[in-house]
Amino acid sequence: MTLERTLILVKPDGVRRGLVGEIIRRIEAKGYQIYALKMMTADRELLTAHYAEHEGKPFFEPLVEFMMSGPIVAIVAEGNRVIEGFRKLAGATDPTVAEPGTIRGDLARDQGTKVVQNLVHGSDSPESALREIGIFFN
């Protein structure tokens, strides 16, 4: 058993559309535990730290602007192989090609915006999870 924790963010589009409960329901239905949860408005400093590896890329500014456009929900979920499991549950980054049954496949669509608005973020590795959890839950 590989007990892990991961950071999950419900992005502003998910909060605006009232999908927080459905997203949490899917996380819990998969068998993961919610370890910590908070609704917040992220500022530029926090988002710059979170997306540091993307700074300087063309999508960085539109991404930061989108993430500051409304409240987000930060979640720490815990479970056996939760990092891999949540990323599978979230679906492909591009909601148009995300498989049915995934959060993005069922609930998101391409909005034609500068940056993909795909409802959720999930850490991609144990190292990223540790770093990201520290940023949002210091």
Identify whether 121 is a catalytic site residue: yes
What is the domain range of residue 73? 3-136
Give mean pLDDT, residues 30-57.
97
pLDDT in tens, 66-95: 999 999 999 999 999 999 999 999 999 999
d(C-alpha 107, C-alpha 50), whole Å: 24
pLDDT of 2 strictly over 90: no
pTM of the model: 0.95
d(C-alpha 52, C-alpha 4), whole Å: 23
Catalytic pick among 121, 123, 132, 136: 121
User: What CATH number is attached to the domain comprising 41?
Assistant: 3.30.70.141
Question: In whole numbers, what is the pLDDT of the chain averaged over residues?
Answer: 96
83's enclosing H/E stretch is helix 82-90
d(C-alpha 58, C-alpha 53), whole Å: 12
Reference 13, options 55, 61, 56, 68; nearest CA is 68
β-pair type (33-40, 72-80): antiparallel
pLDDT of 111 strictly over 90: no
| Structural domain count of the chain | 1
pLDDT at 121: 98
Taking only Cα atoms into account, the Rg of the chain, rounded to an integer number of angstroms, comes to 14
d(C-alpha 11, C-alpha 119), whole Å: 5
